[in-house]
Amino acid sequence: MCRVNQSADALSRQQIQQRVDELGPWVHAFEFNGVQYFDSSARPPGVFPKAIIRERRTEDFWQVFPDVRRVLELGALEGADTVDLARRVGVEWVAVEGRPENLRRLEFVLELNGLRNVSLVLADVEAMDFAELGPFDAAVCSGILYHLQRPWDLLASLAQVTPAVFLWTHYWGDENSAVPYGRYLVKEVPETFPEPRLRGLAPVSRWLCRDSLFRAARDAGFTAAQVLAEGGEGPAWEITLALRR
Ligand code: SAH
């Protein structure tokens, strides 16, 4: 695990674009001072034709956890959520990301926005010791649980350092094609998503089925699970939960 420091710099539009190109390829575009930036590198046809602006989750988060001050974010990617969420006055943010190249882009985006209240940690969330970073008032766990081999362990680790988790995840919607794994029903899914920067760090992940997701949260010590949004089709469903210990 290593920490990265940021320093703020005033850059021209051209300089920003140059840094964006140097740090690319990017998964998402980002907006700064009314200008949209994304690198000019080619993407696999039909997959990610160009970088996209990511949907925002900021409002939902502050609505369910309005008073939190020290927050842990997992799988921060290029900081689309980080930049929005960590802007809040008085907030102290710790963002964990497992891919150094994603972390460099995240660092640049934070630098650009002058966000000095964010500490960056390069680590595999399945191998790190959360106690070294905690305690926290809340965690943001978005888009990472279904990239793990043992998602229930992550929930248990989080429960040791925070009473509240904002969780967005996929779950496996078809119990018939899932298999039991300990106390849980899971589907083993190869990490072959076309965009490699979004993948998990291990070659195969285990998607929890819906009941097992709630069971894993309860097993971890989160006694309340509030469903904020849910939907899907085929076996790949998605759910947004506010978990409380
Ligand atoms: N949180 C963002 C990004 C999700 S993509 C969102 O909700 O849109 C998943 C991110 O988690 C990627 O940046 C990937 O590099 C990172 N990641 C995947 N497995 C990880 C692991 N085991 N440890 C740390 N980061 C991981």
Is this model's pTM higher than 0.85 or not?
yes
Per-10-residue mean pLDDT, the chain, length 245: 48 91 86 82 48 65 96 95 94 98 96 96 97 96 97 98 97 97 97 85 96 98 96 91 97
- Locate tokens 């119990």: which residue? 175
What is the C-alpha to C-alpha distance for residues 106 and 131, in angstroms, rounded to an integer? 23
- Ligand 1, atom 18, residue with closest C-alpha: 200
Calpha distance 149→200 (Å, rounded): 9
- For 33, how many CA atoms within 13 A lie in the half-sphere containing its CB? 10
- Please list, in sequence order, all residues whose beta carbon lies within 8 angstroms of the beta carbon of residue 10, skipping any fewer than 6 positions away: none
**Which residue shows structure tokens 């949209």?**
36
pLDDT given for residue 3 in this prediction: 44
pLDDT (0 to 100) of residue 174: 96
Distance 143 CA to ligand 1 centre (A): 6
Task: Convert 162-206 into a string of H (helix), E (strand) and C (coil).
Answer: CCEEEEEEEEECCHHHCEEECCEEEEEEECCCCCHHHCCCCCEEE
Among protein residues, the one with the nearest Cα to ligand 1's atom 25 is 98
**Confidence at residue 198, expressed as pLDDT on a 0 to 100 scale:** 86
User: In angstroms, what is the span from residue 170 Cα to ligand 1's centroid?
Assistant: 13
